[in-house]
A and B are shown apart, each in its own frame.
Chain A
Amino acid sequence: MSVLVDRSSRVLIQGITGREGSFHTGQMRAFGTNIVAGVSPGKGGSNQDGVPIFDTVADAVVATGADVSGIFVPPAFAADAIMESAAAGIELTVCITELIPVHDMIRAREFVIRGGHQLLGANCPGIVTPGQCKVGIIPNHINTPGPVGIVGRSGTLTYEVIQGLGQAGMGQTTSVGIGGDPVMGLSFPDVLQRFADDPETRAVVLIGEIGGSDEENAAAWIRETGFDKPVVAFISGRTAPPGKRMGHAGAIISGNTGSAQSKLDALTAAGADIADTIEDVVRLTAVRLGTHPR
């Protein structure tokens, strides 16, 4: 089982002809993702390594039945690409692009939700269901199937956890990167709900960071819904000074909100195990699953 994407997902790539778009399309195909189309305005009718390219997402959907889109277009055009995808009826849009202006993202997110569709990101690493489908930039070789669901704000820390768990023999149902922007599509509770509904997900690793209150909201959701799967939580930026934007647009402690301590307290109160290092994440997850790391 899996959440959000699986082997039946028909994936199109917006920005397939760009440097990152073409490189990662190759990686996704090598992973086994069913890439059915690419979109690059003005290049419709051509193909890239056998993937047909269309001028518009709407054309691509009609011709190929694509239902998931991965976006690799530059930041100035990314919000428009998100809306184009949702308007064409794409069920899940995964936006990898970073540095998108927040006003653009507020509108793009709203547009997707009003259409009844889903957005993952932006500024995220994407999503992987091991052995079935990958949309985004998570390195191929670290993913193995198994019982753990992963949801994280930081891309690279999500990779660390996937790799650490994998090396200890614990694979994943699905790994989801929700992104480091203050305004994003799917949030922690949205993804936790899907893990709650997935019988094969037996434990969840939540990777948060300083800034905003998404981790506190996740903790509140866990308490309110009585989410009964074990949660191992890791928060980065514990030593970050207040008032400094630590790379991600969203990673800033401002006033009383966004500190690591507030998130750790909320998650502890919700019954999550708190990991201090990636090694700790692996150890605590093994304990909760009742397995022993190799």
Chain B
Amino acid sequence: MKLLEYQAKQRFAAAGIAVPPGRLARTPEEAADAARELGRIAVKAQVPIGGRGKAGGIAVVDTPEEAQREAARILAMDIRGYPVRSVWCETGLSIDSELYLGITLDRDRRRLVIIFSAAGGMEIEQVAEEAPERIAKLWPDPFAGPHPFEIRQLAFAGFENAPELRSRVPKLVTSLVGLTTRLYGVVTSLDAVTCEINPLVLTKDGNLVAADGKLEIDENADSRHQDVAEELARDATGESGISGDDPFEVEARKRGLTYVHLDGDIGCIGNGAGLTMNTLDLVKQHGGEPADFLDIGGGANAERVRNALEMVLLDPKVRGVFINIFGGITRGDEVARGIIAARDQLHITMPLVVRMTGTMEEEGRTLLEAAGIVPAKTATEAAATIVALTREVSA
């Protein structure tokens, strides 16, 4: 789950990290009220993706009338598929410098990494590529968290190439020890896999303020953070649950299925991520276009298979379905029962090619054959068959 900027900032503030004063507005009138209260403000689209500034989703306004007009414009926007449902109205900062502070998962080191740079702002990715010496990193002990001395080392390293800040470095390093410790606490308590303050603004009066906030929670830990999920759901409108998300993917989440919606016309169901990815690769290799990636996962029972088939068929573009099962923890007889139940209940008449092998494979094949569904011998053969059959249907 990705938190919106204002939700991330609320959590930063609760942890004692300074953020600019702000108000959430869901209507232009609420934005005007915020301007009356706060004065000169930035009106910022609340969408869970970057690049909203370049897309015109941020406006700086001086008066309530202007705030109302700009909020109306931004609230009508759709930023790369994400309709804007709310705007965050916050006071501007008198900016001296823009820094960067982030915590994310380092897959190679298999730890969290804390990243600090004195060169924050929009071009941080370019800095990372072209001047990596301006980016400092710390991989804290996962049990102890970052020690103050380690954060000081990180901070001093990050300021090394910022001579313009030299006189203020000692005080800034002290502030960063507290700030980084608090941010690390936010990350661990929320099971965050990405947390970014960019820019971390050094104000003219010498304070560090989080001018933006990104927080993404590990999907595997969603169940520990139901409060966040409920909050996100309140911010969404319409049936989709989370604003801007693909409606098929939202439906799949409700059904508890691992599903990625794609553009093609061949529904793909597999068990195990690698095998399902390979199922898509095979369809493409044979000239077909996958409509989706649906991994029924380990140990799926007949009901889950039926549910999966039903899910794939919700996409009106689907003209044929390829089911590719290699049983380990998944049992062939359960899969077969699910396929047969789905075919009968949903009156499926489009091409359905099943390739099944592994645990309880004989039982599964026997069930399928008795129901008039002939399993393909290999995944490659099955891919060729479904692509050919789907072409016939389309022709």
Contacts and interface: CB of A to CB of B under 8 A. Distances in A.
A287 interface: no
B111 A247 contact: no
Contact of B110 (A109, A159, A238): A109
Interface of chain B: mostly helix, strand, loop or mixed: mixed
Contacts of B188: 103
Contact of A102 (B218, B270, B273, B284): B218
Interface stretch (A1-9, A46-54, A209-217): A209-217
B66 interface: no
A160 interface: yes
A214 B273 CA distance: 16
A217 B108 contact: yes
A244 B378 CA distance: 27
A42 to B, nearest CB: 23
Residue of B111, B276, B357 with most chain A CB atoms under a 10 A cut-off = B276
A130 interface: no
Given A153-B274, A240-B280, A244-B260, A138 B221 contact: no
Contacts of B105: 102, 182-183
B384 to A, nearest CB: 11
Contact of A246 (B218, B277, B328): B277
Interface in B171-204: 188, 191, 193
Residue of A20, A246, A250 with most chain B CB atoms under a 10 A cut-off = A246
Given A139-B358, A217-B108, A239 B284 contact: yes
Contacts of A214: 107
A237 B329 CA distance: 22
Contact of B221 (A103, A125, A236, A239): A103
Contacts of B280: 237, 239-240
B70 interface: no
Contacts, number: 163
Interface string B255-275: 000101010000000111111
A107 B142 contact: yes
Contacts of A244: 260, 293
For the complex of A and B, the 9 pairs showing the least CB-CB separation, nearest first, are A154-B274, A247-B273, A156-B272, A156-B275, A248-B273, A101-B221, A247-B295, A237-B277, A157-B274
16 contacts: A100-B220, A103-B218, A142-B358, A154-B273, A154-B274, A155-B272, A156-B328, A157-B274, A159-B328, A160-B379, A213-B107, A239-B284, A240-B293, A247-B272, A247-B295, A255-B125
Interface of A: 19-20, 24, 27, 75-76, 96, 98-103, 106-107, 109-111, 125, 137-139, 142, 152-160, 163, 180, 182-184, 207, 209-210, 212-214, 217, 236-241, 244-251, 255, 276-279
Interface of B: 105, 107-108, 110-112, 125, 141-143, 188, 191, 193, 218-221, 223-224, 258, 260, 262, 270-278, 280-282, 284-285, 290, 293, 295, 297-299, 326-329, 357-359, 378-380
